[in-house]
Structure 1
Amino acid sequence: MARTRNRVLVRGMISPLHASLFGLTAGITGTTILYHLVNPLTAALGATNLLLYTLVYTPNMKRISIINTWVESIVGSIPPLMGWAACTGSLEPGAFVLAGVLYAWQFAHFNALSWGLRGDYSRAGYRMMAVTDPEIPNKISFSHFPQL
């Protein structure tokens, strides 16, 4: 893809083994720091997010179904939960409100980005809504919104 072609792994500047070892080391180190210096709940949320992104969303979901956007939206909504948990040591209703706002925002954000990259996503075999239903922008009507 044009947007990822200059990344060090894609260009062969590091091997997949070295990238994997670095990612594993950084993930374990980060989770350990969160556990010992923040709290176990924040560490658990961080580890969950890391696993969801690296083992579910990136390698599998993008090529299988447009549901990948829902999974990616969960990944994007966990950081506010982590911040709340880091500050309070628990998850309260306000944390889920913040996470819900970010979860909902991810759809508009990612669908707008993927529309501009739909050719690259299609060639890569990714099942994004912009690829599977490219007419979707023509189906959306904003006539029910008042004119500004």
Structure 2
Amino acid sequence: MSMKNLNDAGRYEQAVRIIQEAGDLALKYFENLNDLIIEKKGHQDLVSQADKEVEVFIRGSISMKFPEDQIIGEEGGSTISSMNAQSEYIWVIDPIDGTANFVSGIPAWCVVIALVHHNKVVEGLILDPVRKELFEGRAGIGSFLNGQR
């Protein structure tokens, strides 16, 4: 197995762990919507306390394991700096895709993490915490639902 594949495998395993923990955190907020703080980002664009805190969790988890990697998130923007501008890995995250549904109590939202290696998406994960469904796709390997093809 090449070093690149070992690096991708380690990142993939961490991505699965991170998305599952992020989904658990988001689900706790979803189950307690009455306490949720909601703001408007734009005319029809909402952001909730859950969006922000789930993204902070994901960013922190990635940065702790892979400090050299870049992160692009919906709420927090990019971590591109002179220190990691040449990183070969970029994580793209949407902490709660479907915020309008989320804050309305509609169980049609998910947590999304993608991993880009040299400008090519190599892994993508979509977790629906309500239905406990993890959709996974890995370049050259295939796609899975809860680990099954």
The TM-score with structure 2 as length reference comes to 0.28
Task: Work out which of the two has the higher radius of gyration on C-alpha atoms and give 1 or 2.
Answer: 1
What TM-score does the superposition give when structure 1 sets the normalisation length? 0.28
Q: Which has the higher contact order (CA 8 A, sep 6+)?
A: 1
